[in-house]
Chain A
Amino acid sequence: MEAFFIWLESGDLSMWVRGESGWHMAFPIIISFHALGMGFLVGVALAINARILGAAKAIPLTLLKKFMPVAMLALLVNAVSGILLLIGYPTKALTNPVFYIKLLCIALALWNLRWFTTAILTNPVYDTGAVPKRAKKLAIISTILWAGAIVAGRLLAYTYNQIMTL
């Protein structure tokens, strides 16, 4: 594993992310995109959760699906920016258990979001009618998972064991 970290950290892309190629703005710009993507992905997910839980009932539930392209674009932005940050500091993330908690929270929350968009946001009965109890429970769990991902993500800046192997 150490050899892998050293190989990755000494690569051009890793050095570019860390600002060691002479241009210092790469890291700040990547991390800004990561925050923006978080806002739009989690924002759309929270709006769907809130509506499922009974808020803003005037919004026909199935029509919230129209915001999913925004959430998916935000997910793409965060996958790309997240992988770039990981390439920049692989040791820092991969040697910290908190990083795996963050990934687990995101994976579960996305899995749930997929279920919402395929099973709940496709059924016009829920536009004005009652949403199943199971969906409401999952909306609460999903909100907790997104909050968990955010807390874990923020803690990465404070809980790492080692910044670099190189």
Chain B
Amino acid sequence: MTALAKMFFPARLAARQLGHEHAKTLAAVMGVWFACILVFMQLGFKDALYASAASAPIKLTGDLFLIATQTEAMWRTQTFPRSELKRTLAHPAVARIEPVYMGLAHFKNPDTRLKNTLMVYGYTPDSQVFKLPEIDALATDLRLPDSAAFDLSSRPEFGVSQAIPPGPPIATEINDRNTRIIGTFRLGISFAADGNVLTSTENFHRFFPLRRTDAIDLGVMYLKPAADLGATQRDLRQLLNPFVKVLSYQELVDNEKDYWRKRAPIGFIFGFGTIMGLVVGMVIVYQILFTDISGHLSEYATLLAMGYRHGYLVRVVFATSVFLAVLGFIPGLLSSLALYHLAETKIFMPMPMTMEKALTVFALTLLMCIASGLLAMTKLRAVDPADMF
């Protein structure tokens, strides 16, 4: 018998049995479907968290970055002396430096007058520290006292939803100080900050009058063309004080993602949710497969008496679990697509359905069903043709 026939006949029997017992099949498919949705949502939220956590650093333009050694993540930085950033100019490869100030501030919703917390970035507006063309156009106006630009990706409770320009400037308050929103941009929010505001260094200190001007949160360095990035980073690490870290662009982004993955319990929670979803699905599929085998013991024993080998029955159960995985995954994928869309439009979480994610969930679903099948196969040992007569 060829390998194809070896798999084809048991698979066909599995398909016919699934087709015959609609109710049981439907219950099993719904179990897999449910598990699929759970896993898709957990992975979607997790990826959205990591993606949005790094949404600000991803848009930075520098070559090397300076942060305080004690800083864990960018939403709650420790400051370090601005002089430490200036010292890097002594290195022949460093062409330009830009200090960035960051802080969480209250922002008053201009319509409801409710205050919500968002992240304020203060830097030289025409320095192009962020890759944001909208800000480049506003560079001059942001230098005006008490003016700021607002991130349109922010959550709707801040009350700014219309692009400026063409919309008119909006009057509101940041940290109880009268402010005009003169422009908008799109950066992206994170779990730590529901919104973002960009402004000049001078305005930043108007919003945060208690912050010292010589204590900065982030230092951005631009190297001369053809400078060796790795060598410069090594040199700076030697030269600078131990209270600052010198990071490359990739290290800065990874540092931010790793914080949420490892230091915060959130990564664990989503991982735990994923596993629970798979366990629930596995128990349901196992129950169905197990009762199915128990109900067919005498028919299966007859097959063995006819000369079928034990491996044939194993392949029937294996094929059944693979079919259940596929049948449950398809509606699982479709409903998750709808839920992802809902999440993106209603709660503004970036939740793209990537091919990689779909394949990951399919692989997990398949593994889950095959594991249930393997567990259920222990019941096949009870099939003994000698008990048939």
Q: Do the two shown chains form a genuine complex with each other?
A: no
Residues of chain B at the chain A interface (Cβ within 8 Å): none
